[in-house]
Amino acid sequence: MPYEEFKYSSSNKSVTRIVHLSNGRKISTRLQTKNMELEDEDAHSAFDYTYLRRCNPLKQASYSSKIFRAVDLFCGCGGLSLGAEEACNAMGKRLLSVAAVDKNPAFLNVYKENFARASAYEHFVERTIDGEIGTRPTKNEVNFLRKIKNVDVLLAGPPCQGHSNLNNHTRHEDERNVLYERVARFVEIAKPKHVLIENVPEVTQGKDRTMQRSINAMRELEYEVDSDIIDLAALGVPQRRKRHLVIASVSKKFSIQEILEKYSVERERSVKWAIEDLENEPPNGIFAAPSNLSETNLERIRFLHENDAYDLPDWLRPLCHRNGNTYPSMYGRIRYDEPSQTITGGFLSPGQGRFVHPTQLRTLTPHEAARLQFFPDFFDFSSVKTKASLSAMIGNAVPMKMSYIFCLELLA
């Protein structure tokens, strides 16, 4: 099994990640830290700090290197693929996205801009993978399989809004929940070597049991499967974001908890660690600009800062959020010295969560939210034309640290 080692050199102003492979090879990736303030950082933290601030992608392995073929279902803008690609880079190998499928064209445009030679398909997954588990492949499925051929790793993030605690209307019974089974159906017909599926923790409580049925289906196909809930802050993401993870393999047996213990960071990363350098970034374009707030919301933000408060008092909240409201973090201010709360697609609005900036009279910018979601600065969002689309794709994404670590284990 692989393992990571990190070395920091103050004299050379560099930090190096060394991945030790089971065959004895060592693959090194060195980043120049330049004038970054890293004296208080351990070497692992220094590497991630530098990685997040890179303006250019890391150097890819040579074209003669081994290629892993990936399919990303419900791909969004590519958080899972970014982690898988970096895991391949770290091992001196390459990732080829033979199919990235999503119904949102704006999300797919960003995906195509960031992954060379990727084959992106603007489809509803359920209309492409449209057969029932246990039946022969349909015409649509056969056509799709011809395009993708062999698959080394399947990445999937089925829509989670139906299970989310923010969905009070159809939670656990939402029709979107059954899309999870489309992933198991793909496993049945394409037989990828390895599988990684992420979702919200509440997926385990679905009354339709779609997640458990999917796991059972993969086990019947003789996959080794493990599932668990993980807190991404333990992996170095500067955000308390819990996700439900399923990993499966036809050739290896894994323990999610053992992998987490192996890759847990020495100390959690704070919001300040991630975004302090962006406090006064010029608001050039929608990526670096905060939202325009009403005078009422500006008054609420001023109150928080002037009173060194982090939670808004009842009398300043809208009537619907008063008297023991269910979501006390709404209109809240972020603490600089801790990981943030979960970043959602509503981060531009103070009424959607704890998204008021720690030191500035505003909410987070998309750039700051992207950093907290572990998107490095070289990840290109420039094709996005609206703030609504930008906030949705960033908030719905999966921090690449998760797929990086688990793909490092799966693909080693």
**Any idea which residues carry the catalytic annotation?**
160
Report the C-alpha gap between 109 and 373 in whole angstroms: 19
Which residue has 């704070």 as its token pair?
A: 270
Buried b (16+ CB within 10 A) or exposed e, 318-335: eeebeeeeeeebbbbbbe
* Nearest residue to 172 (alpha-carbon basis) of 140, 210, 228, 137: 210
Report the C-alpha gap between 228 and 255 in whole angstroms: 9
* Nearest residue to 45 (alpha-carbon basis) of 371, 265, 341, 367: 265
Contact 239, 341 (CB under 8 A): yes
The 14-20 sheet, strands edge to edge: 3-9, 14-20, 26-32
Which tokens is 143 given?
């056509």
Kind of pairing, strands 153-156 and 67-73?
parallel
* Nearest residue to 118 (alpha-carbon basis) of 135, 133, 141, 102: 102
Q: What angle do CA 267, 270, 276 make, to 5 degrees?
A: 140
* Nearest residue to 334 (alpha-carbon basis) of 390, 273, 381, 285: 273
Report the C-alpha gap between 164 and 271 in whole angstroms: 24
Report the C-alpha gap between 374 and 344 in whole angstroms: 14
Helix or strand or coil: residue 127? helix
- Distance between the two ends of the chain, CA-based, in angstroms? 7
Q: Which residues make Cβ contacts (< 8 Å) with residue 384, sequence separation at least 6?
A: 106, 109, 110, 286, 287, 390, 393
Contact 398, 243 (CB under 8 A): yes
Which tokens is 373 given?
């979601």
Which tokens is 154 given?
């399947």
